[in-house]
Each structure stands twice: as C-alpha cells, then as structure tokens.
A and B are shown apart, each in its own frame.
Chain A
Amino acid sequence: MIDIPKNLTQFLFEQTTEKEREWLEEKVKSNVLDLMTAFVAAPRFLSKKIVSYDSKSKGCLIPHQVGFQVDGWNLVRLSRVWLLLHLPTEPKEQFIKNIETLFDTAELNELVALYSALPLLPYPWEWLPRATDAVRSNMGFVFDAIALLNPYPELYFPELAWNQLVLKTIFNGKPIHWIYGIDRRKNKELAEAVSDFISERLAAGRKVPLQIWRLVSPFANESISPKLITLFTSELKAEREVAALVCFESTNPQVHSLLLKYPDLELSIQNGELDWSKLESIPE
C-alpha cells in the first residue's frame, strides 16, 4: 500500500455521506480482488457530484506532488484514485499485473481514473507505455486525463512522446496551457513541428490557435519572419500581441528587431501588462 497523504483522505471524506464513507472504508479492508471490483463498482455506491478543491486556500493534497490536482473531478473519480492507492504494492510483479488488468478491462471513466492516478503510483516508469497509449486515444476524456492538468507526462515522458502529446493537443483544438509543465519542456524539435503545422494551416486558409506560438518563440528564426510580419498587420489585436510576444522571446536578433516598429507593444510586455496568460482563451 502506498503511503496515502492525510490531506487526501480527509478531503475525500469531507465529500462523502456517512454511508459512502462506510462503503469505502469497508472496501479498503478487503482482499485485492474485492478492492479491484470496488474500483469497478464504485458508481453503484457513490454519487457523482463534482468536488471542488481550492488548493490556494487549502494547501496541497499530495505534498510531494505539487502538480496533482482534483478540482472539477467527480466523487467517483476521486474515490477510485484513492482505492487504487490501497492496493498492496508488493510484490512488484503482482501490483503491476493488477493495475494492468484494470487497464485492460477498463471502461471510459475507469480509464480516466487510472490515468489520473498515474503520478501517484509507485514504479512510475512501468506506466509509460500506457500513458503514451492514452495520447493516441480518440476518446476525448481519456486523452484529457493524461494530457491536461496531469503532472505525469512532464515528469516521465521522453521528448518524442512529450512532443506528440503537445501536437495532438493542438491538433484536437484543446488548450495547451492546460498541459502541466508546458513552458518548462519547450524544445527545438517541437518548435519546428509547430512551425510546420502553422505553415500548413495558413496555406490551407485556416487559422491556428494563437497560444501555440508560445512553443515557437524561443526558437524563432528568420524563416518565420514573414509570418510574423503578416501577424503584425492583422486587424485582430490578439494576433498583433502574439507577434510581439514571439519577437520579444526570440533569441534571434533579426526576429527580435521586428519588434522595434511596435514600441507600444514592447513596452506593455516589459511592464508585465502583456504575456501569454492574457491570451488564454480556448483556441477556436
């Protein structure tokens, strides 16, 4: 069994009725098979009300895992994660087999719970193939469970898988700023792929979500200048602002110098009035 932080258990029980709490406490005392069946059967015994957890006022649920958050989850999802943490973690092979069985037989909401639990489970590298599989999923909620607001990818995904996750988030029209650690794992490969994506979309006469420019900016070079020049002449304020942010963050002197023509935009960036968070509308 994993050392379950008191905050998590306490918060969970604040959300349950007396009867639900009794059911949960009884299940974690039972054998492994019953525990696994309880994971499956949870919606038959627990309500699906949405929990809201304000980490700012209440502190962190998992002290060693700052990125882990449960806001907006329903009680079943939270309980399932909590139930998983009660599985015996030794011997390792058995623990892995049990988790794999749950994955193999899972329905949509169970998958969401399983992926949500990944950052808390022991032997984190063992779950990597599962986690990258979820990125390939065409089921929106499953994809979201690994890609958005989940600290596991930032911690364990190799660069190639990380980049796939980000690209697929863009491709699916989801907000990339919900990818945990998005700014910390920017990289050149990703910047090039995003840059190609932008070209492809613009050539097809389509728009791109403005947020994705932030992935390009640190690596922006002359090749991208024509697109930035076009953005600067856009009628949309947000597009002009994005162009300014890219130029400001680029280490390429030529790109950076494009900003000279727009001193007011440069000033608002320097004053902290304009940054990527100001553009965080959900793309398209």
Chain B
Amino acid sequence: MCQNPNEPSKNPSHFESIHSSENLPTHRDLLWEDYQNLIQGLRFFDPHIHMVSRTTDDYQMMAKAGIVAIIEPAFWVGQPRTGLASFKDYYSSLVGWERFRSSQFGIKHYCTMGLNSREANNERLAEEVMEILPLFAYKEGVVGIGEIGFDDQTPLEEKYYRLQLELAKNAKLPVQIHTPHRDKKRGTERSMSIALEHGLDPSFVVVDHNNEETMKSVLDQGFWAAFTIYPFTKMGNERMVAVVEKYGSERIMINSSADWGISDPLAIPKTAALMKQRGIPSEVIRMVTYQNAIDAFAKSGQIDVTDFETESQPDPNAKFHGNSILRGGQQPVINKNSLLIQ
C-alpha cells in the first residue's frame, strides 16, 4: 500500500479504476476486511498448513475467518535436523502441543506423519527416523503419511518415498505427496507412477502443490489434486479461481501451506471470497475449500466431522480446561484495540 496522503485524488478507492464490477479486481490494495462478509458463515478445512511456524494471532484470525479444522503435514522446519531426538520432538509436537494449542482456538488439528524428502538425503538419520515412524503413523488423529515425495529427486529420496508408501499401505492411510519446486512436471509424474507401482489406490493419494501444468495428468489418473495458494512461488488465488472455473470441483482442493516463509494462513477464506465475488456457485466453493479435503483424508478413519461441525460456537472459557497456553488467569480472547492491559 503506497498511498500518498498529499495526493488523495490520485488514490482511487478500490473499485474506482474498475469499469465493470463483473471484472476480476486487480487493484493491489484490495483489502481483505472489505470482502470478509462474502464468506460469512462458511466453514473451511485447510488440509495443509504448518502451524508449528505460526503464531496465536494466526489461530485467532483463522478461527474468525471460518477455518474449523486443519491438517499439519510433517515437514522441514527450515534447517536440517541433526539427530533423531529432534524428529521425535517435532513429531510429538504435531500430535501433542500443536494439537492442543489449536484446540484452544476451537480449531480441530489433524496431522500427517512422514520423513520429508530433503532430509531423506541424510541416510544415517533417515534410517533411524523410519524405525520410529510407525509409532507415530498409528496415532489418533494422524490422517495420512505426508508430506513425502521428491525435492532434488535423488536416489535416497526415492528410497524413503517408497518405504513410506509401503507404511501407508500397511496402515491403510492416505498419502500426501509434496511435489518439487524444480522440475515439477517430471517430479509429479514420477511420484504418481511410483505410487501406482506400489499398488496404492489413487483415491488414497493427494498430490500437492499443483499448477496449471501438472493438474490434468493428476486428475486423469484418479488422484486428488491439491493447490497451494502461496504468494509468489506457488499459486495465486486469481489463477486458482480460473482453474476452478475451468475444471469444476471434482477431486480438487486448496490449501495454504502456510509455514515459516512469507505465506498466508487465510489463503483459503480469501480465495473463497474471491470465488464468491467471481460468481462461482457456493457448492463448488464448499467442495474445494472444505468437503473434498475431508473426503480424501477421512479414508484414514480418523476424521469425525462432529468434532468441528457442531453449530455451537466454542465457549472459550468452557473449553479452557485449566492451564493451556494461558498464563495464570489470562483470558483467551483479548481486545487488541484496547489500551488497557488487564
């Protein structure tokens, strides 16, 4: 936002420059606050977000925007882990602390477990991780093996990808595939053909981070196609709207993949608002922002929608069973606009 207060006449309000309200707005200063009402009352499910890297402010905004449940895939925390204990602690945080923290905001937290492709390249450590992975894969609320697949597309990445596909098969869990940033098209094809080679049912496999180039083959082969709305590097949400306009909602889902990078935990509600504005039918929006993710990951037997579909707003005080993230006596929701801190 680079408005110059001295030249008000040169700063049109958001739609002034747009001649027809039918048009997709391209104004850079399109403000989220102005569009939230478009998605009033909608429920969202973000099947890919790394809350470990996010703040409680994010949780509050997400809950307010209608996100009722999320899946946190095990992934790379930004720097390589040097020992098994770090993996154990990380996995434990996904099923322990983070799940608990999320519940404090009325958001149901699930996760997928896996050894990520980058760290698969440390063979000694990868071997050790594979030994403890089953203890995590069978846990309550673990809805899949993920996110696994390729990064540099090395032989070691392939080795651990295959081993984890076998684990998923034995545990009857869906798989969440991370497709590489570089050489994406080939990496995606390779991931899918290996999964099929191991006898996985494509309806149990969610291929993530798709783009206009990869999605057709993913859908044609019967896999779920997930799209990550991530600024600059992955999909933008205007492009996403165009994809949904063209392909509809079948086996398509969107996520934020918000993590420690410049990303947006509200990617789903924002995209939903854009779709609504663009005139995409509500049912289509519901499928790609909510239902499809549930259908795909509920194959784990670990998703009970009554956990987050019950109509009553969570009463934070009733839910705050004691201590939690709240330091002695803190209140769950604070009024950020108030000068007084009590």
Contacts and interface: CB of A to CB of B under 8 A. Distances in A.
Contacts of B139: 40, 107, 110
Interface in A128-154: 138-141, 143-144
A206 B329 CA distance: 10
A171 B134 CA distance: 38
Interface in A34-55: 36-37, 40-41, 43-44
B138 interface: yes
A127 B109 CA distance: 30
B134 A138 contact: no
A108 B328 contact: no
Contact of A36 (B88, B135, B329): B135
Contacts of B91: 105
Interface string B134-154: 111011110000000000000
A111 interface: yes
A40 B134 CA distance: 10
Contact of A108 (B88, B95, B329): B95
Contacts of A108: 95-96, 99-100
Nearest to B85: A104
A140 B328 CA distance: 13
Contact of A105 (B100, B135, B321): B135
Interface string B176-206: 0000000000000000000000000000000
A225 interface: no
Given A44-B301, A105-B88, A173-B322, A139 B138 contact: no
Interface residues of B, number: 26
A66 interface: no
B92 interface: yes
A268 interface: no
Contact of A139 (B100, B135, B301): B100
B140 A105 contact: no
A172 interface: yes
Contacts of A41: 138
Interface residues on A, range: 20 to 34
A186 interface: no
A150 to B, nearest CB: 15
A69 interface: no
Contacts of B92: 104-107
Contacts of B329: 173, 206
A93 B225 CA distance: 48
A103 B92 CA distance: 10
Interface string B106-142: 0000000000000000000000000010111011110
A147 to B, nearest CB: 10
A40 B138 CA distance: 6
Nearest to A148: B322
A143 B138 CA distance: 24
Given A139-B96, A139-B97, A174 B140 contact: no
B324 A138 contact: yes
A167 B30 CA distance: 51
B242 interface: no
Interface in B51-81: none
Nearest to B324: A140
Nearest to B100: A139
Nearest to B89: A104
Contact of B140 (A101, A107, A143, A173): A107
B322 A37 contact: no
Nearest to A40: B138
B99 to A, nearest CB: 6
A104 B97 CA distance: 13
B325 interface: yes
Contacts of B95: 107-108
Contact of B323 (A36, A101, A143): A143
A141 B321 contact: yes
Interface in B312-339: 320-325, 328-329
A252 interface: no
Contact of A104 (B88, B99, B100, B140): B88
A109 interface: yes
B322 A143 contact: yes
Nearest to B323: A172
A111 to B, nearest CB: 7
Contacts of B96: 106-108, 111, 139
A173 B324 CA distance: 12
Interface of A: 36-37, 40-41, 43-44, 101, 104-111, 138-141, 143-144, 168, 171-174, 206
Given A41-B138, A173-B329, 7 more contacts: A43-B140, A105-B91, A105-B135, A138-B323, A139-B97, A139-B323, A144-B322
12 contacts: A40-B138, A104-B88, A106-B92, A106-B96, A107-B140, A107-B141, A108-B99, A109-B140, A138-B324, A138-B325, A144-B321, A173-B329
5 closest A-B pairs by CB: A107-B95, A140-B322, A41-B138, A140-B321, A172-B323
